[in-house]
Amino acid sequence: MIRVTRLNGAELIINGELIQEVESTPDTVITLTNGKKMMVTESVEDIIRAVVEYKRALFGNMKIPEGD
């Protein structure tokens, strides 16, 4: 999950797995896989960083199995 801020200052937690695209128009708009769009105060770079951190938290300690 990642934490973002709506334009009205309300904090929102979204599932990083559901992000389809992020664009700057110039406000940052996140489009989810269900088609819902939300404008947030964070930059595109901040959203990317948050998603990468989220993925690292999920998969960072995984070990790749060795072949037989």
Phi, psi of 51 (to 5 degrees): -70, -40
User: Is the per-residue pLDDT at 68 higher than 90?
Assistant: no
Q: How many CB atoms sit inside 10 A of residue 42's CB?
A: 17
- Domain regions of the chain by residue span: 1-42
Query: Is residue 67 a contact partner of residue 22, using CB atoms and an 8 Å limit?
Result: no
Tell me: the pLDDT tens digits for 24-33? Answer: 998 999 999 9
- What is the arithmetic mean of pLDDT over 20-42? 96
Q: What tokens appear for 50 in the block?
A: 């948050």
pTM confidence score: 0.81
Is the confidence at residue 49, as pLDDT, over 80? Answer: yes
